[in-house]
Amino acid sequence: MKKILSYNVNGIRAAISKAFADWLKQENPDIVCIQETKAQPEQIDDSLFEALGYNCYWYSAKKKGYSGVGILTKEKPKHIEYGMQIEKYDNEGRFLRADFENFSVISVYHPSGSSGEERQAFKIEWLHDFREYITDLKKQIPNLIISGDYNVCRLWTDIHNPTKQIKTSGFLLEEREWFDNFVEDGFCDSFRMFDNQKSQYSWWSYRAGARDKNLGWRIDYNMVSNTIKDKLTSAFILPEARHSDHCPVGIEINF
């Protein structure tokens, strides 16, 4: 049984200052996919995680204090793939893959389009290129777990006040259609395999006490290849973890 978490920490150093390592020790996952590290590898104290038995891998943006992904894993991977070999995306440190014997895990941080039209256009371009990249990758590695911040709410039940948000980046029709197509490509939304309730969110705005009122969005996912979805034993959200404006989302899978 493997326990895999995905967590946008909104700054790994800030999360560490909020006792992230202590929380990790208590939660004890086998693999953690981290997004938005906002740090270069040399700025992260790996010894905190190595003391807990993790191998640490980081892929940072060229721009300091921006984006960045990581993977912490107790089992040493056979191979680590840094980036997608697409320069405009790899410059932003958005993709990191760890290959194991029977499967691969990807930590991915999809762009946000909320800052304006230029970044929204970049996001849409990324979504199409990412889908194409994964389609090719699946031919070599059919068993994929793609964990991360997708910056898209997939379903109407994944966002508070959906009718008011349909023109908001992250819930645009074009983005939701992309997600539908991604699922049709052979991936399952692991959380929705186990829980169809409303008001299950992974991100809340810092404004107007949104988190305490649970006015959130579910934008963090562990998408699992259909080839291994029958091996899933649970999927969950951990909203009590408060190191970030996101919370962790996880799965347990029995290989």
CA distances from 230 to 5, 45, 153, 164 (A): 18, 37, 24, 36
Amino acid symbol at 208: A
- Paired residues of 79 in beta bridges: 99
Tell me the domain boundaries of the chain.
2-253
2-253: CATH, from 3.30.230.70, 3.60.10.10, 1.20.120.450, 3.30.300.130: 3.60.10.10
Per DSSP, 222 falls in state E
Judged by phi (left if over 0) then psi (alpha if -120 to 50, else beta), residue 232 lies in beta
Instruction: Look at residue 69 in the predicted model and tell me its pLDDT.
Output: 98
149 tagged catalytic: yes
Do the beta carbons of residue 138 and residue 130 sit within 8 Å? no
Q: Indicate whether this model's pTM tops 0.85.
A: yes
Place of tokens 């010894």: 47
- Residues 118, 140: Cα–Cα separation, whole Å: 34
- In 3D space, the residue among 67, 93, 92 whose CA is nearest the CA of residue 82 turns out to be 93
Angle, helices 173-184 vs 117-140, to 10°: value is 0
- Paired residues of 80 in beta bridges: 98
- Residues 226, 176: Cα–Cα separation, whole Å: 20
Instruction: Look at residue 208 in the predicted model and tell me its pLDDT.
Output: 87
As a whole number of angstroms, the longest Cα–Cα distance in the chain is 47
Do the beta carbons of residue 106 and residue 144 sit within 8 Å? yes
Do the beta carbons of residue 68 and residue 36 sit within 8 Å? yes
Place of tokens 């849409």: 124
Would you give the distance in Å from CA 24 to the centre of its chain?
Answer: 17
From the candidates 45, 90, 149, 158, give the one annotated as an active-site residue: 149
Handedness of CA 84, 87, 89, 90 (dihedral sign): positive
- Residues 76, 45: Cα–Cα separation, whole Å: 19
Amino acid symbol at 176: R
- In 3D space, the residue among 169, 205, 191 whose CA is nearest the CA of residue 248 turns out to be 191
CA distances from 251 to 32, 68, 77, 102, 168 (A): 11, 22, 19, 16, 29
- In 3D space, the residue among 198, 110, 199, 99 whose CA is nearest the CA of residue 147 turns out to be 110
Mean pLDDT, 10 residues at a time, over the chain (255 residues)? 98 98 98 98 97 98 97 98 98 98 98 94 98 98 98 97 96 98 98 96 95 97 98 98 98 97
Instruction: Look at residue 58 in the predicted model and tell me its pLDDT.
Output: 98
- In 3D space, the residue among 88, 110, 145 whose CA is nearest the CA of residue 246 turns out to be 110
Instruction: Look at residue 84 in the predicted model and tell me its pLDDT.
Output: 98
